């Protein structure tokens, strides 16, 4: 027996109501989309609204300084997405970056070596929909990228070195970021090395645990400028004194090639000396640096790498001075030693300073 007409009408009304729930009208769809955008704008304060390209193409020390600075800036500006443009091997410095920070590579030795390659690279950047381009390099390549990005609507900023510039490079970089309207923290975060890199380091140096009871000391005797390099004969005397004390295990840092060959000679001569140059990647070298009690280095990129992981560095200055602006972040004035033609820095003075800084 069929149900009454009134009950049929109610059932039809329920069926119609259920159908509308599964097939929303055009008004319902528009209302849902509009509500989601309003929710993102007002409810989520960290929704990214700006894409910013940071350019720093050369120098390991400067790149390490920029990477540490951008870690802090990215954390202080969660409403921005930062892309750090550098050379391929330097992008390895971005360990566990914040969620709103990424790396992009420009190969200045191959594809982007000449003007035409840089122009093609800059043209491809239009897909990134950049809002701002901050040039911390100041080279012809970065100028081309900055100018080309401006044609696509990105607002350009660049560092202003010179007599009216800030006293240090870190302050110069910070000043440019502030001009771009970004918050720059006064204290910069340290880089956290991931567990997988630690395991890779253990595989390369399987016997390193035998040195756990020793003081871990790092030495980086080389620099890109030969005039900054500490003389080899005096470096030999310093390492010999360290080995005679039987308190230290020394890790040597340098670049692959000629530097690695020179440092490997110390490794063959002394059982408590380990050479990392040409053996570990840049990322794996930072694992060692993070564990060091002290790093002895020239005015080069090594003190800046040590600053990334919070390791104290004793810097030897030869033809440059800290006033030139290349001091590592959080470097202390008492950690500077000077080697001049008038007053040569002998290994005994360095050894005495190492002893004073590594006492338990």
Task: Say yes or no to pLDDT of 43 above 70.
Answer: no
**C-alpha span between 348 and 23 (Å, rounded):** 84
Kindly report the average pLDDT of the chain as a whole number.
Answer: 82
Q: What percentage of the chain has pLDDT greater than the value 90?
A: 44
Cα angle, residue 320 at apex, residues 109 and 163 outer, rounded to 5°: 85
326 neighbors 262 (Cβ within 8 angstroms): no
Which of 117-121, 133-137, 201-205, 321-325 bottoms out in mean pLDDT, i.e. has the lowest?
201-205
- Note the pLDDT of residue 104: 92
**C-alpha span between 286 and 306 (Å, rounded):** 7
Q: At what angle do helices 347-357 and 232-245 cross, to 10 degrees?
A: 40
Can you tell me the mean pLDDT for 333-351? 93
Which of 177-181, 213-217, 294-298 bottoms out in mean pLDDT, i.e. has the lowest?
213-217
328 neighbors 188 (Cβ within 8 angstroms): no
**C-alpha span between 169 and 83 (Å, rounded):** 20
Task: Say yes or no to pLDDT of 44 above 50.
Answer: no
- Note the pLDDT of residue 38: 47
Strand order in the sheet with 132-135: 101-105, 80-86, 50-55, 132-135, 155-158
pLDDT tens-digit profile of 227-261? 999 999 999 999 999 999 989 999 999 989 999 99
- Note the pLDDT of residue 360: 57
- Note the pLDDT of residue 175: 92
Cα angle, residue 109 at apex, residues 107 and 112 outer, rounded to 5°: 50
- CA dihedral sign, ordered 279, 255, 173, 218: positive
- Note the pLDDT of residue 208: 67
- Note the pLDDT of residue 24: 40
- Note the pLDDT of residue 251: 94
- Note the pLDDT of residue 113: 86
pTM passes above 0.85: no
Selection from 261, 283, 262, 280 nearest residue 205 by Cα: 280
HEC sequence for the chain = CCCCHHHHHHHHHHHHHHHHHHCCCHHHHHHHHHHHHHHHHHHCCCCCCEEEEEECCCCHHHHHHHHHHHHHHHHHCCCEEEEEEECHHHHHHCCCCCCCEEEEECCCCCCCCCHHHHHHHHHHHHHHCCCEEEECCCCHHHHHHHHHHHHCCCEEEECCCCCCCCCCHHHHHHHHHHHCCCCCCCCCCCCCCCHHHHHHHHHHCCCHHHHCCCEEEEEECCCCCHHHCCCHHHHHHHHHHHHHHCCEEEEECCCCCHHHHHHHHHHHHCCCEEECCCCCCHHHHHHHHHHCCEEEEECCCHHHHHHHCCCCEEEEECCCCHHHCCCCCCCCHHHEEECCCCCCCCHHHHHHHHHHHCCC
- Note the pLDDT of residue 18: 37
Task: Say yes or no to pLDDT of 35 above 90.
Answer: no
Which of 9-18, 55-64, 95-104, 105-114 bottoms out in mean pLDDT, i.e. has the lowest?
9-18
Using a 10 angstrom Cβ sphere, with 0-12 exposed, 13-18 middle and 19 or more buried, the burial of residue 109 is: exposed
The confidence band for 94, taking pLDDT boundaries of 50, 70 and 90, is confident
Q: What percentage of the chain has pLDDT greater than the value 70?
A: 84
| Residue that wins the pLDDT comparison between 190 and 26 | 190
């Amino acid at each position: 027996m069929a149900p009454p007409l009134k009950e049929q009408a109610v059932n039809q009304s329920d069926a119609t109501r259920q159908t509308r729930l599964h097939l929303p009208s055009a008004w319902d769809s528009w209302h849902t989309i509009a509500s989601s955008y309003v929710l993102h704008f007002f409810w989520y304060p960290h929704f990214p609204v700006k894409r910013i390209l940071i350019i720093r193409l050369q120098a390991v020390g400067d790149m390490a300084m920029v990477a540490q600075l951008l870690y802090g800036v990215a954390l202080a500006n969660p409403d921005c997405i930062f892309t750090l443009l550098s050379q391929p091997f330097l992008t390895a410095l971005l360990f566990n970056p914040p969620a709103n920070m990424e790396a992009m590579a420009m190969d200045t030795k191959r594809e982007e070596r000449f003007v035409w390659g840089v122009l093609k690279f800059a043209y491809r950047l239009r897909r990134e929909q950049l809002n701002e381009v901050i040039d911390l390099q100041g080279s012809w390549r970065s100028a081309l990228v900055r100018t080309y990005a401006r044609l696509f609507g990105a607002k350009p900023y660049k560092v202003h070195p010179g007599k009216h510039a800030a006293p240090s490079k870190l302050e110069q970089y910070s000043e440019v970021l502030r001009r771009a309207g970004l918050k720059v923290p006064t204290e910069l975060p340290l880089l956290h090395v991931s567990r997988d890199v630690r395991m890779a380091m253990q595989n390369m140096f399987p016997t390193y645990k035998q040195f756990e009871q020793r003081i871990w000391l790092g030495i980086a005797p080389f620099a890109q400028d030969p005039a900054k390099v500490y003389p080899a004969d005096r470096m030999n005397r310093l390492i010999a004194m360290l080995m005679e004390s039987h308190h230290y295990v020394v890790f040597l840092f340098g670049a692959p090639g000629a530097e690695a060959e020179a440092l490997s000679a110390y490794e063959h001569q002394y059982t408590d000396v380990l050479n990392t140059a040409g053996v570990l990647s840049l990322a794996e070298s930072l694992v060692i640096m993070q564990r060091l009690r002290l790093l002895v280095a020239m005015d080069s990129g090594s003190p800046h790498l040590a600053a990334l992981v919070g390791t104290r560095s004793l810097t030897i200055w030869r033809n440059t001075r800290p006033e030139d602006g290349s001091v590592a972040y959080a470097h202390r004035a008492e950690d500077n030693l000077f080697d001049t033609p008038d007053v040569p820095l002998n290994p005994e003075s360095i050894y005495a300073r190492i002893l004073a800084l590594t006492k338990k």
